[in-house]
Amino acid sequence: MRANTIEVSRLCKRYGPAVALDDMTFTVRPGHVTGFVGPNGAGKSTTMRVILGLDRADAGTALVGGRRYAELTRPLTHVGALIDPGALAPTRSGRNHLLWLAHSQRLPARRVDEVLDLVGLAKAARRHAGGYSLGMKQRLGVAAALLGDPPILILDEPFNGLDPEGIVWMRELLRDLAAQQRSVLIASHLMSELQDLAGHLVMVGRGHVVADEPVAALTGRHGSLEAAYLALTRTEVEFRAAR
Amino acid sequence: MRAELTKLRTRRGPLLLLILLVAVTAAGSAMAVVDGPDPVHASLQGVLIGQAVAALAGVQLLAGEYSTGLIQTTWLAVPRRLPVLFAKSAWLLLGVSGAALLAVGASVLAGRLISSSYPALTSTTVLRAAAGSVLYLSLTALFGLGVGALLRNAPFAAGATLSALYVIPAIIPFFPDRDWQEALYRIGPSTAGLSIQTTADPASLPIGPWAGLAVTAAWALGTLASGGWLLRRR
């Protein structure tokens, strides 16, 4: 059970006077897509970066499959992540980008071609990744996340830049991955998308959790996920246009 | 190790840098050959230009990943981080020392062909100056990698590395006090390290040839160790 959960416990982090994480605590379980939502600056990306060992928290722990990310050998076989689709060398081809990643995890080159087919990039795989559109970079990022066939997936705004066909594809892919008893955590601002896709929601504001419950419970009480979001984050918003 | 090699061979830049290193070092040396008091030293002057290429190859290897954003993917794949620095150091050392061997070999050969007073290629002085120059270029590349790990910004790291290599020798003449001049000569990574090339009366230098090369090595290892410590902490 613990092998594919994400456990975030009492994370705190400050950047100078600004509080980024303030006692952030939640658990992501397998079997359904978990939406991770909240206003800009609420700490979603920082939480994801701390889970993945890219940032250090001042206090608290973040465990993937019961262990700290930095302790994992061959981490991509435990956790697949897409944080920044632009995190690649622009003059290296998409295929070679995946190839060095595969080598770093002692995965066979065959796996590279499998994930390229899976994300529909096989034709563009030998072109420089710097020339890809944002949608193609997202697909390459998803390919990298799936390279190690991990039981846990962490994706930041995976729908960004995708065309309508790509959005449908991504939705089906995420559903399938969750149905295979993986933990799937998705940060997104698209409430209508999450309402159909996610089974569970973690809503955050100002660095802490304001709601952590099934999507059905939220929509039952508020009518829609968007209404639930607006009601629950009203007091948590850092930036808002005057009305 | 293998992943870092895959990174290196799937882009054109690294190989071009090594070719450039051989070309500018050999060309610079061939042009500098004269029948002076120390023809061996003169025939290795291309190293003064080649060191910039070697240093930039080192800077580019890690700090360059911060420029593109690739570094985030690298840390996700290897969250312990230090193995990345070790692998990069190893491949850099291998690549640059191979290129330096070609460059210095061509330089010495050109010196022997052009200068009439050149000592035999197998004489200990020539061998020391040549082998030392190869080591010097390799250490300079590691120094660039170390500064890159410390600063994590390619333009800053390139500026800092090249300043250490070129600005220290340039400002030495402006110090009126001879003790100061000698002290700077002894601590400068390029001034101290390049004393390995002097074959005529090396005793007249502020620092001995091997001790000088050890200074360059200390700069390389010092920046790599502190850079590695910082990478782990973040």
Interface ipTM: 0.92
A93, closest residue in chain B (CA to CA) = B10
Contact B141, B219 (CB under 8 A): no
Residue A240 pLDDT > 70: no
Residue A243 pLDDT > 80: no
Contact A13, A47 (CB under 8 A): no
Residue B230 pLDDT > 70: yes
Of A140-149, B39-48, B53-62, B81-90, the least confident: B39-48
Of A44-53, A204-213, A234-243, the least confident: A234-243
Contact B125, B40 (CB under 8 A): yes
Band (B11; pLDDT cuts 50, 70, 90): confident
Band (A25; pLDDT cuts 50, 70, 90): very high
Residues in CB range of A220: below 8 A, 6 or more apart: none
**Gap between the Cα atoms of A107 and A100, Å rounded:** 10
A57: which 2 tokens? 């928290």
Q: What is the residue-averaged pLDDT of chain A?
A: 92
Band (A51; pLDDT cuts 50, 70, 90): very high
Across the range A161-175, mean pLDDT stands at 94
Helix axis angle for B82-114 and B13-32, nearest 10°, is 30
Number of domains, chain B: 1
Residue A237 pLDDT > 70: no
* pLDDT per residue as tens digits for the range B130-161: 999 999 999 999 999 999 999 999 999 999 99
Residues of A in contact with B77 (CB under 8 A): 75-76, 101, 104-105
Across the range A163-180, mean pLDDT stands at 95
Band (B33; pLDDT cuts 50, 70, 90): confident
* pLDDT per residue as tens digits for the range A189-205: 999 999 999 999 999 99
A17: which 2 tokens? 């006077």
Polymer length in residues for chain A: 243
Residue A159 pLDDT > 60: yes
DSSP strand pairing (A33-37 vs A200-205)? parallel
Contact A218, A44 (CB under 8 A): no
CA distance B218 to chain A (A): 30
Range of the domain at B165: 2-233
Across the range A55-73, mean pLDDT stands at 94
A33 SS3 class: strand
Torsion of CA B101, B104, B110, B116, to 10 degrees: -120
A164: which 2 tokens? 């309508």
**Gap between the Cα atoms of B156 and B227, Å rounded:** 14
B166: which 2 tokens? 């070129």
How many helices (H) does chain A have, and how many strands (E)? Answer: 8, 9
A185: which 2 tokens? 């955590």
Helix segments in B152-177, DSSP class H: 154-162, 168-171
Band (B112; pLDDT cuts 50, 70, 90): confident
pLDDT at position A194 is 93
Write the single-letter amino acid at B214: A
Which residue out of B61, B73, B91 would a mutagenesis test of the A interface target, given it has the greatest number of A Cβ atoms within 10 Å? B73
Residue A214: φ, ψ to 5°: -60, 145
Of A220, A158, A161, which Cα lies nearest the Cα of A195?
A: A220
B75: which 2 tokens? 């840390």
DSSP strand pairing (A208-214 vs A183-187)? unpaired
A86 contacts B76? CB cut-off 8 A: no
pLDDT at position A17 is 86
A72 contacts B70? CB cut-off 8 A: no
Residue B120 pLDDT > 90: no
Residue A173 pLDDT > 60: yes
Contact A14, A178 (CB under 8 A): no
Residue A239 pLDDT > 70: no
Phi/psi-derived region of residue A207, left when phi > 0, alpha when psi is between -120 and 50, beta in every other case: left
* pLDDT per residue as tens digits for the range A95-107: 999 999 999 999 9
How far CA B77 is from CA of A71, A156, B6, B59, in Å, comes to 12, 17, 14, 21
Across the range B111-140, mean pLDDT stands at 89
Sign of CA dihedral A56, A97, A155, A7: negative
Residues of A in contact with B13 (CB under 8 A): 91
Contact A132, A166 (CB under 8 A): no
Write the single-letter amino acid at A134: L
Residue A20: φ, ψ to 5°: -95, -45
A120 SS3 class: coil
Helix segments in chain A, DSSP class H: 44-51, 94-104, 109-119, 134-146, 164-179, 191-197, 215-222, 225-232
pLDDT at position A241 is 63
Instruction: Label residue A170 exposed, middle or buried (CB < 10 Å: 0-12, 13-18, 19+).
Output: buried
A92 contacts B3? CB cut-off 8 A: no
Across the range B178-186, mean pLDDT stands at 90
**Gap between the Cα atoms of B181 and B176, Å rounded:** 8
Q: What is the residue-averaged pLDDT of chain B?
A: 91
Residue B69 pLDDT > 70: yes
How many Å from the N-terminal Cα to the C-terminal Cα in chain A?
A: 47
* Greater pLDDT, A33 or B12: A33
**Gap between the Cα atoms of A93 and B198, Å rounded:** 46
Percentage of residues of chain B with pLDDT beyond 90:
61
A35 SS3 class: strand
* pLDDT per residue as tens digits for the range A77-100: 999 999 999 999 999 999 999 999
Residues of A in contact with B76 (CB under 8 A): 52-54, 75-76, 81, 83
A54 contacts B69? CB cut-off 8 A: no
B69, closest residue in chain A (CA to CA) = A87
